[in-house]
Structure 1
């Protein structure tokens, strides 16, 4: 199965708006207790999350996984920092890439693959405001063309 082609549970649409995504990597997650049950229910938000590399390990911060409703007092903290499961070479390459000017690592999509929660992360370069406006213009033009073609078919 190609990268990122799973049962999409959460997507970070803001990432493609704010960054040019140049490369993607599939990463596993270290989860506690009832987190996987909340993920399977789709109670995940990636909007403001980001990825850091500390001490040779990759960590995802600010990813919100809601507490499981049928959980008990041992439920997890919704916004805790979670470790990503990547190969050492992948982490070293990502660390090298983010040292370059304007690059960052952002989570793009969370999905379940073979029973495990996976996070698709992307190496992105920040867009300027004029880049964002150009993307919006292209999107509007594409939408207008699709409407025109739809009306023409009728």
Structure 2
């Protein structure tokens, strides 16, 4: 029997939304597919994406997830055959997941934000998170906790 090949290591970028982790307290995450046109796929592979302002809207009937305000830049070699930069993009998930997210969104103060955009087996995937906005003092507390953890790690590494 032939030996299985190791899966290819990916050179494609993983675009992260670090701002979302800072501004929202993420309670739940979900991996969904994203419907892109050809030049958008090439632009994502080139890393010309900004997730910072993005958010997701969920509709229960008919079930739909839509990504808003995510900027995928122009792919220069495409010339005049560019995609619209400001278009909304459809997200792909199971009906029951979409309905569940729509119910969650009805709660006041809850938002669905894109956390990470990456490729998995050649298909674009988006990790979305359900979160609530953090107050300024919560952000400061989180930064303080992170700093204290770094100090502890530094002290431990110097001892070893």
TM-score (norm 2): 0.85
Aligned partner of 1:47 in structure 2 is 52
Match 1:68 to one of 71, 75, 80: 75
**Cα distance in structure 2, aligned partners of 1:52 and 1:41:** 26
Large movers: runs of 4+ above 6 Å: none
Aligned partner of 1:148 in structure 2 is 155
Residue 88 of structure 1 pairs with residue 95 of structure 2 = yes
Aligned partner of 1:97 in structure 2 is 104
Deviation at 1:127, TM superposition (A): 1.2
Match 2:138 to one of 131, 135, 139: 131
Aligned partner of 1:12 in structure 2 is 17
Deviation at 1:20, TM superposition (A): 1.2
Preserved contact between residue 48 and residue 62 of structure 1 (Cα < 8 Å): yes
Preserved contact between residue 64 and residue 79 of structure 1 (Cα < 8 Å): yes
Q: Secondary structure at the match of 2:38?
A: coil
Q: 1:109-149: per-residue Cα shift (whole Å, max 9, x none)?
A: 00100100000001111111221111011011112222223
Residue 36 of structure 1 pairs with residue 29 of structure 2 = no
Aligned partner of 2:5 in structure 1 is none
TM-score (norm 1): 0.88
**Cα distance in structure 2, aligned partners of 1:92 and 1:133:** 34
Deviation at 1:8, TM superposition (A): 5.2
What is the aligned-residue RMSD (CA, Å)?
1.7
Aligned partner of 1:79 in structure 2 is 86
Deviation at 1:28, TM superposition (A): 0.7
What is the number of residues matched between the two proteins? 148
- Structure 2 gaps of 5+ residues are 1-9
Q: Which has the larger radius of gyration?
A: 2
**Cα distance in structure 1, aligned partners of 2:158 and 2:151:** 11
